[in-house]
Structure 1
Amino acid sequence: MRSMPHRFSLRIAPLLIAGLSGAHIAAASCAPPPEDGTPQWRPALHYTPQRNWMNDPNGLVYENGRYHLFYQYNPLGNDWGNMSWGHATSTDLVHWREQPVAMHASATEEIFSGSIVADTRNTSGLGAPGKTPLVALYTSAYKDGSGHAPGTQAQSLAYSLDHGATWQPYAHNPVLTLDPESKQFRDPKVSWYAPGGYWLMTTVVADAHVVKLYRSGDLIHWTFLSDFTLPGVPHDGALWEMPDLVPLPLDGDARRIKWVMIVNVNPWSIAGGSGSMYFVGDFDGRTFTPDRVAPAGSDPAQFRWVDHGADFYAAGTFSGAPSVRPVAIAWMSNWDYAAKAPTTPWRGAMTLPRELALTTIGDEPWLIVTPAAAFDAWASAGRPATRLDDLSVRSTLTELPAATRGIVQRITLSLAPQGASRAGLVVRRSANGAIGTKIVYDTATRTLMLDRSQSGEANFSSAFSKQHIVNLPLEHGRLKLEIIVDRGSIEVFANGGRVALTDLIFPPRDADRIAVFSEGGSATFGELTVTRLADSGDDNHVCASRQAPPGGR
């Protein structure tokens, strides 16, 4: 492709000091991490611990004005192991503070994934006068000396009477196990089922591709309800993990509740490796029945996916969140190559929090996934923004003006491919064009692609897949895109959240340019706005959004 000059008309919105004051106040209480390891890929917008390995989000709960994010964590190193629960808190889903490790692995037990609810009715009897218990249900992975066969997995309980700062294990753990015991029985997600007036748990027998449903009146004693499984689903050797059963009003109508069963699968996802599948159906208090299931032997593309990128796994929703729509978050990595990700002294990050909705598209309900309203409000609050007039590009690539350069950005636009065979953007582009991540729309195949084949460091693993594609028709001849760019990731939301793609990237620090392109004809880029969300050296923002000193609240 040949680059040609174009005229640009741009408008730069001013930086509003009030819009940033909260971040600076929060930053003042903690020091930025040392510039060791790979700071060029340390997220500015996404939660990651200061150091060491993290994976699945756990214990997602909102209580006493704060969001709690617990997660699988290795306190002793930057590889998987010694599984414990790390902990971070936020008041706005944007600025996260790292807390001390909540629950530590021991010589006889590791603390695998699980969930937390605020037991406001004290159904468990674990509360105290004036103190609502936070109750965690988690998987105990037993080792030698535990009284269980090594490798056994069962569901245990712990509770907190100080808003999640300290945790007390239940005296009679585990509270739920299989007979005979299993090495694949894990990941309890608990919610309150209001129509029945009881607690509902989803958990899995991972290697059998079974979601098991239970009920309880006190969070301690559990009664089996039913199994959800799909015989013949073509992913032998895969695991089902981290299930979540979520009620959603169809098209915003509270009288038409449908249930979404999220099942995280590894491997066999739509982008290769691990990913988040979902089913829409009905739940009668006992059994979940999906509306639509692809026939046995179907390709992964015939199933529904929460995200079509490679780096979205273990998705779960926050219990008790005050937002109108459920808020979900996921681990931003992939088991295919997570252990080889080239970041240090940490490894692993979370996606942006996202809101879930259910909308009828073509006579079927589809999950709509968008950045959480809290993030949208923060990103829109007086940030410096460059707005370009409509730009027509014909069979060429054009770099945008210098005012659009940056490495932590939100990009919004409306793309009309018109006569072009392919059109899109290149973000995190180097000055010589050798590095860049492409977002490409193909008009013939009606597909959207995120292409990270030239995004930077990509040779750390042969399983680091390069291109991720999803079917997506235009709407009135246009494709609306919201693209969140961080130091080491891209999140793309298309057509109002009908499609999401999330990918890790590892570009050099100076790859800070944006270009637009078309192939085989003209395309128009309208309503193009680039908002700077952090500066390249904005350590204060990173500190405020990520961590507090050890023991800080």
Structure 2
Amino acid sequence: MKILPILLSIALSVIVLSACNNEKNADNQDAVTSDSLLVESHFRPLYHYSPPKNWTNDPNGLVYYDGEYHLFFQYNPYGDKWGHMTWAHAISKDFVNWENLPIAIPENERDSIMIFSGSAVVDKNNSSGFGTQENPPLVAIYTAHYHTANPDAYKQNQHIAYSTDKGRTWTKYEKNPVLDLGKKDFRDPNVFWHEASGQWIMAVVLPSEFKCLFYGSKDLKEWTLLSEFGNAGNQRMIWECPALIELPWEKGKSKWVLLISAAHPDSTEKYVGMQYFVGEFDGKTFKNDHPNTTTLWLEYGKDFYAAIPWNHVPDKRTILYGWMNNWAYAGDVPTSPWRGQMSIPRSLSLKKYPEGIRIVQQPVKELETLRQKHHHFENIAIDNVSDLLSGIEGRALEIKLEVLLQDAKEFGIRVAQGEKQATEIGYLVNNQQLYIDRTRSGMIDFSPKFPSKDQAPLQAENGKITLHIFLDHCSIEVFANGGKVAMTSLIFPDQESDGLSLFSNGGKIKVNYLDIWELGK
């Protein structure tokens, strides 16, 4: 959960100007589900989750229970700027179609306690005593943020709430907080059941100290400090939203991965991004396999942050979900009446490369149900700009292609293309860099920090580059070489900009295959 000074001043103004009382809170419990103010924008995504209206940021409490994927998220019931942080709620059976539900865990406005980021679990053995063996409770573990007029007097500690009706209603634990260090910044608990040690494990951060603390509990109420991890990776910006996950990497083998939301590979501005650490976890201590100076980046686009995994996915996949935005300009993106959306869900695994074990990210298979009209091409020679795709249009597309390198110095595909605008997804052969160039993508002047050409290191494999691209009205997600590299970027093109084209510079390429699906529901 990110707190920036400018957003804090906005939030404080909202609180001062709004006379908060119980009646007002009750009137807004269904705010996230109301379409009464919804005016459809051509930026509205087709298959990425966005709330009908108002501000949203971090995904929270991702949990599967009884046939439903639960998405909770940071939400402002009163407007499209950060403030009044509350857990809103949506559910899905397939990651594609989402049903908005009433607000799950509201801000305590009387005491100015916001509901910051956290996680949720199915307490299947009823260790907490909040449910029964026959009807185990859902338990949410979240940060309570005590918001005052003086930022130096802020306080954060960890609370829990529980539900015994499939997450439809929630009760805050009467003995909260369950974990309190008396600190201003202590947040984002991510909890899972660790079978080998027979306990609940919590990863939670001290953001400005660049530390992740690990706690253990038998009942989700009493927590004992196990160890801490820090002084590693990138420390250019505060650490947030930790998640400790076990991932397979070879047959019968696994590694533990610690995800941390922090800085971005682009150090020219205060952009946020995500890094990760690969190592071992024994139920008490996380041991990093790499030197502390090593930084492994999860993403190279500007718009993927605060991602956490779903708990209790039935087929044992580890599925990651992130906020598609960046704090550098999040309050200014030109969408209305909503501001903020989620990424597509990604299935995670590990793969051993010459440089070491790395995360591989793949779009979940459920997205294939969106595929409609299909265009297929193969064995295409491209020299300069091709008109091969001139008859294909769309703002919601899935694209897969494999390119055999020849003598071109650069190549790529342009999407959301209009008369004077396009977003370029390309590859610089000599530099071995994948890039997304959104400097001519459409509306870019709402923030000087938005226009960018973001790059990621990517080596060809057997002389080939593969790209898997998802375009959805105002966003692009790219998975390269089987998911070794991921890049996510917001774009805001004109409504008429829906064209495509392939290009090469300084020589030729051969497209071994190209598949394009027009997507719809």
Same fold (TM over 0.5): yes
Shift in CA distance, 74/529, structure 1 to aligned 2, threshold 3 Å = same
Q: Residue 371 of structure 1 corresponds to which residue in structure 2?
A: 363
Shift in CA distance, 77/520, structure 1 to aligned 2, threshold 3 Å = same
SS at match of 1:177: strand
Offset at residue 398 of structure 1 (A): 1.8
Offset at residue 402 of structure 1 (A): 4.3
The aligned amino acid for 1:414 is E
Q: Residue 505 of structure 1 corresponds to which residue in structure 2?
A: 491
CA contact (8 A) 1:422 1:518 kept: yes
Q: Structure 1 length as normaliser, TM-score?
A: 0.84
Q: Residue 240 of structure 2 corresponds to which residue in structure 1?
A: 241
Q: How many Å separate the matches in 1 of 2:142 and 2:38?
A: 35
Shift in CA distance, 479/487, structure 1 to aligned 2, threshold 3 Å = same
Offset at residue 428 of structure 1 (A): 0.6
What does 1:15-164 correspond to in 2, within 5 Å?
A: 36=39, 39-107=41-109, 108=111, 109-128=113-132, 130-143=134-147, 150-164=153-167
Offset at residue 234 of structure 1 (A): 5.5
- Identify the range of structure 1 (136-145 vs 39-48) with the bigger mean alpha-carbon deviation: 136-145
The aligned amino acid for 1:507 is P
Q: Residue 19 of structure 2 corresponds to which residue in structure 1?
A: none
Q: Residue 428 of structure 1 corresponds to which residue in structure 2?
A: 416
What does 1:256-271 correspond to in 2, within 5 Å?
A: 256-266=253-263
CA contact (8 A) 1:310 1:465 kept: no
Indicate yes or no: 2:428 matched with 1:453: no
Offset at residue 389 of structure 1 (A): 3.2
CA contact (8 A) 2:390 2:500 kept: no
1:194-246, Cα deviation, whole Å (9 max, x unpaired): 10010000000111110000000000000000110016x5634x210000000
Q: Residue 340 of structure 2 corresponds to which residue in structure 1?
A: 348
Shift in CA distance, 234/502, structure 1 to aligned 2, threshold 3 Å = closer
CA RMSD of aligned residues (A): 2.0
Offset at residue 303 of structure 1 (A): 1.9
CA contact (8 A) 1:138 1:187 kept: yes
Q: Residue 23 of structure 1 corresponds to which residue in structure 2?
A: none
SS at match of 2:135: coil
Q: How many Å separate the matches in 2 of 1:153 and 1:269?
A: 30
Q: Residue 193 of structure 1 corresponds to which residue in structure 2?
A: 194
SS at match of 2:58: strand
Q: How many Å separate the matches in 2 of 1:269 and 1:85?
A: 31
Indicate yes or no: 2:479 matched with 1:487: no
Q: Residue 414 of structure 1 corresponds to which residue in structure 2?
A: 402
Indicate yes or no: 2:292 matched with 1:279: no
Q: How many Å separate the matches in 2 of 1:271 and 1:66?
A: 41
Q: Residue 537 of structure 1 corresponds to which residue in structure 2?
A: none
Offset at residue 379 of structure 1 (A): 3.5
CA contact (8 A) 2:187 2:205 kept: yes
Shift in CA distance, 182/93, structure 1 to aligned 2, threshold 3 Å = same
SS at match of 2:59: strand
Offset at residue 142 of structure 1 (A): 1.5
Offset at residue 508 of structure 1 (A): 0.5
Offset at residue 129 of structure 1 (A): 6.2
What does 1:192-211 correspond to in 2, within 5 Å?
A: 192-211=193-212
Q: Residue 16 of structure 2 corresponds to which residue in structure 1?
A: none
Indicate yes or no: 2:365 matched with 1:393: no
Q: How many Å separate the matches in 2 of 1:125 and 1:415?
A: 57
CA contact (8 A) 1:400 1:513 kept: no
Q: Residue 339 of structure 1 corresponds to which residue in structure 2?
A: 331
The aligned amino acid for 1:411 is I
Offset at residue 266 of structure 1 (A): 4.4
1:292-347, Cα deviation, whole Å (9 max, x unpaired): 1353xxxxxx6212211000000100000123320010000000000111111000
The aligned amino acid for 1:222 is W
Higher relative contact order (CA 8 A, sep 6+): 1
Q: Residue 362 of structure 1 corresponds to which residue in structure 2?
A: 354
CA contact (8 A) 2:389 2:502 kept: no
The aligned amino acid for 1:282 is E
CA contact (8 A) 1:269 1:276 kept: no
SS at match of 2:42: helix
Q: Residue 30 of structure 2 corresponds to which residue in structure 1?
A: none
Q: Structure 2 length as normaliser, TM-score?
A: 0.90
Q: Residue 289 of structure 1 corresponds to which residue in structure 2?
A: 287
Aligned positions, number: 485
CA contact (8 A) 1:46 1:352 kept: yes
Select the structure that is richer in strand: 2
Indicate which of 157, 167, 170 corresponds to 2:170.
167
Q: Residue 318 of structure 2 corresponds to which residue in structure 1?
A: 326
Offset at residue 505 of structure 1 (A): 0.2
* Identical aligned residues as a percent: 38
Q: How many Å separate the matches in 2 of 1:126 and 1:158?
A: 9
Q: How many Å separate the matches in 1 of 2:508 and 2:438?
A: 24
CA contact (8 A) 2:264 2:274 kept: no
Q: How many Å separate the matches in 1 of 2:266 and 2:223?
A: 32
CA contact (8 A) 1:266 1:335 kept: no
Q: How many Å separate the matches in 2 of 1:290 and 1:184?
A: 24
Shift in CA distance, 141/386, structure 1 to aligned 2, threshold 3 Å = same
